[in-house]
Amino acid sequence: MTPIQPKPFYRQLYVVVFAAMLLGIAFGFFYPDLGVKMKPLGDAFINLVKMLISPIIFCTVVHGIASMGDLRKLGRVGGKTLFYFEVVSTLALVLGLVVVNVLKPGAGFNINPATLDPELTRSYTSNAHALSTVDFLMNLIPKTFFGAFASGDLLQTLVVAALVAFALQAMGSRGKPVLQVIDTGSQIFFGIMHIVVKLAPIGVFGAMAFTIGSNGIRSLTYLLELIAGFYLTAGLFVVLVLGGIAWACGFSIFRFLVFIKEELVLVLGTSSSETALPGMIQKMKRLGCAESTVGLVIPTGYSFNLDGTNIYMAMAAVFLAQATNTPMDLSHQISLLMVAMITSKGASGVTGAGFVCLAATLAAVPGIPIESLALLVGIDRLMSQCRSFTNLIGNGVATVVISRWEKEVSAETVRAHLRPSS
């Protein structure tokens, strides 16, 4: 049998997507009016992906939980997963607060919120409000069974999937045919996703051409100190925090980043970690992680393990306080941290969701003028890329960590799959 020849590097998806991103930047810079008109290309690609996310999550979670068999194992894995998420997410928030207080990127701006245009943020703040515990829990329940799929709310999809999985598990052997149908459905949706992903270069080109065309090259330099500080903090978090966790579990964070390079480039171009979700699920299985663990950790992480979003909200909120000369002592920042731990659960990887969660955080923490959000509108797209980037890496590392804790995969196996020749 003739061995399959690998594709030349210039035909690899991540190379083509990266080239399309650079082309989109150049197109938006030299032809800004036409660049703005490219927005439907990016929106269409992201909408195609979002169309498939809920059914993929549903099938993956149902099959993962129902095939686990032992409810005690499910409780154990779920408990470890949520514990890990909360600890690491809190570390992300704390790191963001420490760095923004050290760098003080907003100090000296002396912005008067009354001079800012409230219309710039109206579309975001109209949907933002303080999220109480009751509101959060009630929002987990969709109005109808299919309502979760129609709304695209990942938390609601997780609830429906968990209920179906428990019901199938209780049915025993009678539920196996249904489980097989769901597994086949999962393969169908992944097959559709493979087709959609081939359109990624077109979507990335449109998204980047619109970003640069609508904001100009100033979108890459405006509020540079905050942007640089945010990227620096996210980099420190990935290398030091996630890298330390990876090292403790026996693998290299840098080899892991190379392993998921296609997903990283896709996120970089679309500013949404959801576009890489199906690819991450498959790659975590390739590393040797159990299907049940992957099906539980990855989808849950998209709502509960948003490290990049947490860093962004901590830094952006304190930046706005500094820029508007709003007093914010340690007690206020601790209150901000506690509120952000709740409001960040509303972001599920969709472009701009982090900005809405920031607005909800400001609404719940008195003092910082919510009108000051107008300062961040022009650079939110660039910040969104880093948020999604960090969220994706964090969820991938979390999956390997939980699998290692459950002794489903050895450190040697993970390292073997992460080698370039694998």
Does 371 fall in a domain?
Answer: yes
Q: What is the pLDDT of residue 422?
A: 44
Q: What is the pLDDT of residue 7?
A: 61
Does 4 fall in a domain?
Answer: no
Q: What is the pLDDT of residue 253?
A: 95
pTM of the shown model: 0.73
Does 2 fall in a domain?
Answer: no
The domain total for the chain is 1
Q: What is the pLDDT of residue 195?
A: 85
Helix H or strand E encompassing 56: helix 39-66
Q: What is the pLDDT of residue 197?
A: 79
Report the alpha-carbon angle 327-332-334, nearest 5: 145
pLDDT in tens, 225-239: 888 899 999 999 999
Q: Which domain does 255 fall in, by range?
A: 10-418
Does 338 fall in a domain?
Answer: yes
* pLDDT < 50: residue spans in the chain: 1-4, 120, 128, 130, 219, 222, 348-351, 422
Does 31 fall in a domain?
Answer: yes
Q: What is the pLDDT of residue 3?
A: 45
* C-alpha distances out from residue 84 to 245, 312, 359, 401, Å: 11, 20, 26, 9
Placement of tokens 């693998």 in the chain: 251
Q: What is the pLDDT of residue 331?
A: 79
Q: What is the pLDDT of residue 353?
A: 58
Long-range contacts of the stretch 364-367 (C-beta < 8 A, 24+): 364/130, 364/131, 364/339, 365/317, 365/332, 365/335, 365/336, 365/339, 367/321, 367/326, 367/327, 367/328, 367/332
HSE-CB of 78 using CA atoms within 13 angstroms: 12
Whichever domain contains 159, its CATH number is 1.10.3860.10
Q: What is the CA radius of gyration of the chain?
A: 21
Q: What is the pLDDT of residue 238?
A: 95
250 conformational bin, left if phi > 0, alpha if psi -120 to 50, beta if neither: left
Does 5 fall in a domain?
Answer: no
Q: What is the pLDDT of residue 2?
A: 46
Does 249 fall in a domain?
Answer: yes
Does 314 fall in a domain?
Answer: yes
Q: What is the pLDDT of residue 277?
A: 81
Q: What is the pLDDT of residue 222?
A: 47
Percent of the chain with pLDDT over 70: 79
Q: What is the pLDDT of residue 350?
A: 45
